[in-house]
Structure 1
Amino acid sequence: MVDVRKEAQKLKTTLHAIQAVLIGAERRQVEEEAVKLWLGKLKATSYDTDDLIDEWNTFILKFRVSNKVCFCIPSPSFCFTKIVLHRDFGIKIKDLNKRLQVIAVEKDMFSFNLNTSKEKPPYHLVVGMGGIGKTTLAQLAYNEQEVKAFFEKRIWVCVSDPVDEVRVAKAILEALTGVARLPLWLNSRHCTKWESLKHSLKCRTTGSKVLITARKENVANIMGSTSMFPLGQLYEEQCWSLFSRVAFFGRTTDDCKGLGDIGRKIANKCKGLPLAVKVLGGHLQFKKSKEHWQCAGQ
Structure 2
Amino acid sequence: MEDILDEFAYEALRRKVMAEADGEGSTTKVRKFIPTCCTSFTPIEAMRNVKMGSKIKEMATRLEAIYAQKAELGLDKVATITQSTWERPLTTSLVYEPWVYGRDADKTIIIDMLLRDEPIETNVSVVSIVAMGGMGKTTLARLVYDHAETAKHFDLKAWVCVSDQFDAVRITKTILNSVASQSSIDSQDFNQIQDKLREALKGKKFLLVLDDMWNDNYGDWCCLQSPFLSGS
- The normalised TM-score by structure 2 is 0.34
Q: Which has the larger radius of gyration?
A: 2
Greater relative CO (CA pairs within 8 A, separation 6+): 1
- The normalised TM-score by structure 1 is 0.27
